A = this chain, B = another copy of it.
Amino acid sequence: MIDKFVRSMAEAMNGIRDGSTVLMAGFGEVGSPHALLDGLIEQGATNLTVVINSTGRVRNPSQPAQGLPRLVELGRVRKVITSFVRNHSVVGDAVRDGVLEAEVVPQGTLAERIRAAGAGVPAFFTPTGAGTLVAEGKEVRDYDGRACILERALPGDVALVEAWMADRWGNLVFRDASRNFNPIMAMAGKLTIVQTHHVCDLGQLPANEIVTPGIFVDRVLHVAAGDPTLPR
Contact = CB atoms under 8 A, between A and B. Distances in A.
Interface of A: 112, 116, 119-128, 141, 143-144, 146, 148, 173-176, 207-209, 211
A162 to B, nearest CB: 15
B127 A116 contact: no
A26 B143 CA distance: 29
Nearest to A144: B122
Contact of A122 (B120, B122, B148, B209): B148
Contact of A209 (B119, B124, B141, B209): B209
A64 B169 CA distance: 45
Nearest to A126: B121
10 contacts: A116-B124, A120-B126, A121-B124, A121-B125, A122-B146, A123-B124, A123-B125, A123-B141, A173-B208, A209-B209
Among all A-B residue pairs, the 10 with the closest Cβ atoms: A122-B143, A124-B124, A123-B125, A121-B124, A209-B209, A122-B125, A122-B148, A121-B126, A123-B143, A122-B144
A141 B144 CA distance: 22
Given A120-B126, A124-B125, 4 more contacts: A112-B121, A121-B126, A176-B208, A209-B209
Contacts of A173: 208
Contact of A119 (B112, B122, B144, B211): B112
